[in-house]
Structure 1
Amino acid sequence: MAASRDDANGHEQAPTELNLLTLNCWGLLHISTLRTPRLLEIGRQIAALSPPPHVVCLQECWVQDDYRAIRDAVRDVLPHAKFYHSGAFGGGLAIMSRWPIEESSMVPYPLNGRPTAFWRGDWYVGKGVACATLRIGPGRRDVVEVFNTHTHAPYESGPDDSYLCHRTAQSWEIAKLLRAASQRGRLVLALGDFNMFPCSLPHRIITARSPVRDVWRVLHPHSCIGPADHPDEMARGLPMPTAETAPPNRQNKLRAGKPCPVDPEAEDPNGKRLDYIFASNGDVSDGRGWVVESASVALTERHHSLHVSLSDHFAVYATLKLHTLSTSADVTAAAGEDTSTGFDAQLRASQDFDYDDAGAIPIADYDEILDMTHRYTARERSQRRRRFATFYAALAAWIGCLVAVWFSPRNFVSFLLMLLASLGLTAGVVDGLLALLFFSGEIRRLKEFKWEIQNARAAAVAATGKGGNAEARVAERASLQKHA
């Protein structure tokens, strides 16, 4: 059964299937085209999905009126919901659920953009992870931890991407949350717009540091890992992405016009996966756990009257099923089954996950992260020096203008000197505050991130180079901590 029922004693039974959906709504105030009617239609189409979703995570739902419109449309299907508040303008995250939300929190990312890039807005919205604990049944294991996130946007590309360090650190942070929740024996779900490609470094961090799987790659292991011109994608020599395999797609039409149905098989050289659903198997100690039954692109239909896409992303929809490991007799009978995507194979992979396996991430990946962090720290130190220099230069210019006023022969010259002095001092004070508060804090947060990576790397070196000896791992970490 997909939904819960009441047993003979009136207690709600746990479901055996979970339907999950994630969507980036593109709901920026005053910027997003046709925002209000699009988001209203999003709510209507979510409510009309069959089978109905049990957990929905939304990103870029910035305006509370839009959230309320979606909330009203899905109330009969998803009676419980939470709009999360963060930053100066809000992170645009919301979680909607078939079951009550027992606990909730908004965990900010330590590294999250720069206030100097005000036209991008990532720092001002306070991006982070929206967390919700759902009770889906009366049993000890009937608890689900849901994490919804929208990581920093990739405004740049290649090795010069100055925000790559931020996205990598954000993947590390959410992996820690997923890992901790999984260790409590709970089913863990992470949904959202992760702004990363499959098999990229941030993707590998999440799947290696926590016992979760990218549900799409469980069922579609050969799906695209980037747009057609991406070097890794070109090296595979496989067909181009389509609307069925790449949610952000050129068929996302955002201006009103004539009907234009989405062709799910049309190739798109720019198609790529940025939206993900990660899921663990839950507590498999009794031979039962959650497996991926289906994963697909959803909400591809246009608005019924405006004939526009509902967002600049398509939704990702997945179904998890509670599965019991087959007996030896069952395994013999199903010998011809494709074990790469078989339910038993999924559960056994979870049983093989070792929380103490420090070598899950290759040493080369740790070195890449440390090199990236070193370069970004040097950039921030340089920025801090420049901002302090601007402050002191503005202060000196202000004092010079004040002195010059005494010797000015004309009033309008004095006025210009005072105006320039005031404007210069204002700009200098802003730069001084940025240097003192933001960049100094950023450098300290980078030090924390660097220490965590070095600590994990030391354990990985000990595990891979010394046979995984526990005493060796402790010695490596002690050496690092002594010099921290």
Structure 2
Amino acid sequence: MARSVQPVDENHLEKTVKLLTFNTWGLKYVSKLRKERLRAIADKLATEQDGDYDIVALQEIWVEEDWKYIEERCKKQFPYRRIFKSGIITGPGLALLSKIPIESTFLYRFPINGRSSAFFRGDWYVGKGIAVTLLKPHTPGSTPIALLNSHMHAPYSHTGDSSYACHRSCQAWDFVKIVKMLKKSGYAVIQVGDLNSKPGSLPYKLFTIEGGLVDSWESIYGANANDEIIEPEEIGTMTFEDQILIGGVTCDSKLNTWRANRQPWEACRLDYALVDSTHISTVNAQVRFTERLEPPYNCSYSDHFAYSAEFLIKASDNSRISKSAFSSSERIDVFKEFLLNLQEYQRYTIPEQTNWRRFHFFAGIITLIIFHFLMPWCAKISPYLALLVLFFSTVLGITAVLNGLIWYFGVRSEARALEEVQMEVEDNLTSLKDE
């Protein structure tokens, strides 16, 4: 099926900015062929002629060795480079390669980023957030770019608490606040990364309706290109090739060797470049890095495909004001959906986590005290029984204290952070209704 593409003014080609965003799947000990794949990515970025990117935003660069190789290999092609390191075990995995000079950078860490009780998942430990890079104007007189790179909390199921839909919505809310501030400051905002949110989801609505950003893929292949927007549920009915060419699929494609066991309906678009259309026009968009490494590996470069877009950055004009393309009623509907999402999580998940962890703590401590009084009696009956009771009481004590810490410091902190977000949304909703 052929897709219509907006014509490009040849006079503007020299002024365009080419961008690539890529989740590289760089987890140490977990990602297969990590070193080989990331080195192949670096080699391709350093030598590829048809790409010729101006900006490359990377996610899941979690091993220092990998970043050093990428930086050394790409230093001639990309003279300006930055990796963000703030985190407990490792950094957020966010890195940037750029031909455009960097003016300044900062990392905003998400205050809501997973449950502390889910210690077996790494989202909270790595300190996920938004890597903000302010770039200098790429041509004289053009609007300076503010690039927001992120890898939002992963879903571990399609529904329920493990989907982490509430956490991603809160992270999207933080995104919107930063986007609005940068837009008011006169920057051309580009939001990129693996946002772990499908088109039409609540985070996506926050980005586009409340944040006022435009999906660059839809700008080329959606309604603006005189075609119907592809709904997520339609992806599963397409051929695997069309899922990429028409649907813009970057994740869980059966053409990806690391996801070949996925069902066709699981293929989705999670990697984006969302832009402020006041200052930016999208002139091209493609899914990239769909080919495989050379033998003997014969594998995909990552468990995601990369996404590339080309933009025309408009001339700097302080009088240009960004106006929302959505009505107040649409924004109100998004706020209401967000509040329901928050309230449901606070009504069910928070009490469940609180009650279980608190019960385990107090019951465990009381049982531990009882075991201490029973120890002499057990020793008289059998030394092995005493040893067994000692071992059990030790395990019980450790787990009880751990659950107590999770309850008092983790769950309580998460609940207060969620209440803060709820009050912010309510403030915005009230203000919008009063207009």
- What TM-score results when the alignment is normalised by the length of structure 2? 0.85
- How far the C-alpha of 1:314 sits from its partner, in A, is 1.1
Residue 401 (structure 1) aligned with residue 371 (structure 2): yes
Q: Distance in 2 between matches of 1:76 and 1:167?
A: 37
Judged with a 3 Å threshold, the aligned counterparts in structure 2 of structure 1 residues 351 and 102 are, in CA distance, closer, same or farther, namely closer
Q: Distance in 1 between matches of 2:339 and 2:22?
A: 33
SS of the residue corresponding to residue 423 of structure 1 reads: helix
Aligned to 2:22: 23
Counterpart of 1:253 in structure 2: which amino acid? Answer: T
Counterpart of 2:93 in structure 1: which amino acid? Answer: G
- Kept in 2, the 8 Å contact 1:131–1:146? The answer is yes
Judged with a 3 Å threshold, the aligned counterparts in structure 2 of structure 1 residues 246 and 229 are, in CA distance, closer, same or farther, namely closer
- How far the C-alpha of 1:382 sits from its partner, in A, is 2.4
Aligned to 1:85: 85
Aligned to 1:416: 388
SS of the residue corresponding to residue 135 of structure 2 reads: strand
Counterpart of 1:251 in structure 2: which amino acid? Answer: L
Aligned to 1:317: 308
Which range moves more in the overlay, 16-25 or 112-121?
112-121
Q: Distance in 2 between matches of 1:432 and 1:398?
A: 14
- Unpaired runs of at least 5, structure 1: 1-14, 256-266, 283-288, 326-346, 463-467, 469-484
RCO higher in 1 or 2 (8 Å CA, sep ≥ 6)?
2
- Kept in 2, the 8 Å contact 1:224–1:240? The answer is no
Moved over 6 A (4+): 237-240
- Kept in 1, the 8 Å contact 2:183–2:322? The answer is no
Residue 359 (structure 1) aligned with residue 328 (structure 2): yes
SS of the residue corresponding to residue 78 of structure 2 reads: coil
Q: Distance in 1 between matches of 2:340 and 2:140?
A: 46
- How far the C-alpha of 1:393 sits from its partner, in A, is 0.8
Counterpart of 1:371 in structure 2: which amino acid? Answer: L
Residue 225 (structure 1) aligned with residue 193 (structure 2): no
SS of the residue corresponding to residue 26 of structure 1 reads: strand
Superposed CA offset, 1:60-99 (max 9, x none)? 1111111122222221111111111132232211111113
Aligned to 1:329: none
Aligned to 2:165: 164
Residue 247 (structure 1) aligned with residue 247 (structure 2): no
Residue 37 (structure 1) aligned with residue 7 (structure 2): no
Q: How many residues align?
A: 404
- How far the C-alpha of 1:447 sits from its partner, in A, is 0.3
Residue 437 (structure 1) aligned with residue 391 (structure 2): no
Match for residue 448 of structure 1 among 417, 420, 434? 420
- How far the C-alpha of 1:176 sits from its partner, in A, is 1.1
Alignment of 1:196-345 (within 5 A): 196-221=197-222, 222-228=228-234, 241-244=242-245, 245-248=248-251, 249-254=253-258, 269-281=265-277, 289-305=279-295, 306-323=297-314
SS of the residue corresponding to residue 125 of structure 1 reads: coil
- How far the C-alpha of 1:227 sits from its partner, in A, is 4.8
Q: Distance in 2 between matches of 1:271 and 1:39?
A: 23
Q: Distance in 2 between matches of 1:216 and 1:49?
A: 23
Judged with a 3 Å threshold, the aligned counterparts in structure 2 of structure 1 residues 38 and 172 are, in CA distance, closer, same or farther, namely same
Q: Distance in 1 between matches of 2:202 and 2:241?
A: 22
- Kept in 1, the 8 Å contact 2:15–2:139? The answer is no
Aligned to 2:355: 385
- How far the C-alpha of 1:270 sits from its partner, in A, is 3.7
SS of the residue corresponding to residue 60 of structure 1 reads: strand
Q: Distance in 2 between matches of 1:167 and 1:367?
A: 16
- What TM-score results when the alignment is normalised by the length of structure 1? 0.77
Alignment of 1:41-52 (within 5 A): 41-47=40-46, 48-52=48-52
Which range moves more in the overlay, 125-134 or 364-373?
364-373
Aligned to 1:5: none
- Kept in 1, the 8 Å contact 2:112–2:414? The answer is yes
Q: Distance in 2 between matches of 1:46 and 1:422?
A: 54
Aligned to 1:334: none
Counterpart of 1:39 in structure 2: which amino acid? Answer: L
Counterpart of 2:255 in structure 1: which amino acid? Answer: Q
Which range moves more in the overlay, 20-29 or 48-57?
48-57
SS of the residue corresponding to residue 157 of structure 1 reads: coil
SS of the residue corresponding to residue 124 of structure 1 reads: coil
- Kept in 1, the 8 Å contact 2:188–2:313? The answer is no
Identical residues among aligned pairs (%):
28
Counterpart of 1:420 in structure 2: which amino acid? Answer: F
> Larger Cα Rg: Structure 1 or Structure 2?
1
SS of the residue corresponding to residue 191 of structure 2 reads: strand
